[in-house]
Chain A
């Protein structure tokens, strides 16, 4: 098949960063080699792109040859006795669970949406709500195949030093072509989910630590408008794999319903959200959500399907359009447990002072991992969503830079998949000596610097 490209507008998921690039969608390994040659011939750079679910500018680059991986999407082998799955990089997380759940297996790590590709997930080394137990996706790979910019393919295993650079390498250390992933055995398609409202930061951390010992998943929502004694209030969900009938393993049991509350068609929900998507309404909505949480279901356990619990955001198609026209940025920082409270408390106080509160706050527990570009800490992360408008943009970036300072002071880390605001000086302080080591591997896999992304340039991952 002839490989044809077209000019396409590539957008970060938050819709704040976009660029036109020449998009090609290869279907086999040789296509990659042809595209690497084409890039050299036309003196263009190569951008790798999965499903475009990174929030910022990780998967965009103006005028590049953009290599979209979504059509390289075959499951190559699957062994339901061992749970080892080999797939091409463009297979999505949704494809993965659909393939294996009937046999009683679930992806070991999933993001809050099922659209990301395996390649994109490895390149960013994603984590899930089970990060404190299962770590990141890179820790569940048997091996991966990566193509360097000369076209040669290398099989890397976790014991090789290069593996530590390519996992989390943000598309700048070669093209991940395929990988072998160890799936997680599950007793059924359901989880037992326990909900508890917490009225302050103190309670947040206390309840988190209580469940971190034995829960399989743990996540909390934080009301970023609450202040004073209520600061840090929210709703914690802890979940355990549940025993259940084999029927729960079927896709029909898992699939998300077409209506919300059995009434409202999902497709219109973003329009309603858009109307509410302003500071005053969001303050009220957050407060209401908390109040409801203290009465409905508080302290109770219920069964939920794996899909419904894991991919809550996929319930509302195109929810991000509620942030149009300016889009939004997500800001997630990872802080050691000793200093997490201090950092998050101050981050939220800063937002309130600037009247730039995040409309959504999500708290998770993490553990360290062995990768060179890593967001893993023995501590917590707080993910925040900020609406961007022409009038707040500058102040918002300023706020982010101040929040960075808090994180760095506390020995914290960042996550490139969600980043839009990191500067080279922040990146250097975060990565320390790992940065040079990682750049060394980048030079090995891509000596002439063919692989580039806007994020790589902005953050200084790529040497200027």
Chain B
């Protein structure tokens, strides 16, 4: 893993973001951990005193993102890496169409990401260095029956990150999109997942490639399976039990 002196992890109070923050701190980084639940963040900070610094913030309050980002940079003493891991995936009934829920998904997964990563992109563009990591999902590769807005939100995030990558390429800034499959976290606690990955394992894989621009799956089999799934015609895809 490349060494990052100063990092921000958005969505660090649980699951994958928490694991990434811990991993970075263990490798010697100073990490600003961002999320809404302050008690969780403080607990995390106490586990790595001086290395993890909590910052309470709700990413749906996009108008506050610029200030929070600036504060986070000051707290960390600069910035070499930002990871946007905040995400929201509520349960959605098979016949449910709930606009309020769907907008909320977009607010966290997309609008919050844009608000934070625009700040980071601008800073890195000026400084001519830095790494941006966005946590997408295999769920963003196709529109499925179960989670229309969540799928769409991740697809939007992927496209946004790809555009950032192409913009910042010449400035020496890397933009990496990671597409995890199922992981055992709070987000999926209510589901009975088979073959789910531990967030610690996922975090290690992500940090090993955080500086490599491009889209990354976390396992070889996902890479193959999703290469096929992505290219299946809709008429075939809709018959699959996914």
Contacts and interface: CB of A to CB of B under 8 A. Distances in A.
- Do A and B pair up? The answer is yes
Interface of A: 6-9, 19-20, 44, 62-63
A6 B125 CA distance: 10
5 contacts: A6-B126, A8-B127, A9-B129, A19-B78, A63-B77
Interface of B: 6, 73-74, 77-79, 123, 126-129
Contacts of A62: 6, 77-78
Would you call the interface of chain A mostly helix, strand, loop, or mixed?
strand
A7 B80 CA distance: 13
Contacts of B77: 19, 62-63
A9 B123 CA distance: 11
B73 A63 contact: yes
A44 B126 CA distance: 19
A8 B125 CA distance: 10
Nearest to A21: B78
B28 to A, nearest CB: 12
Contacts of B128: 9
Contacts of A63: 73-74, 77-78
A7 B123 contact: yes
Contacts of B74: 44, 63
A458 B22 CA distance: 26
B118 to A, nearest CB: 14
B126 to A, nearest CB: 4
A404 B127 CA distance: 35
Nearest to A22: B126
A63 B6 CA distance: 12
Contacts of A9: 127-129
B65 to A, nearest CB: 17
Contacts of B126: 6-8
Nearest to A7: B126
B67 to A, nearest CB: 11
B105 to A, nearest CB: 33
B86 to A, nearest CB: 24
Contacts of A44: 74
A11 to B, nearest CB: 11
A319 B140 CA distance: 49
A20 B129 CA distance: 10
A19 B74 CA distance: 12
Nearest to B3: A390
B128 to A, nearest CB: 6
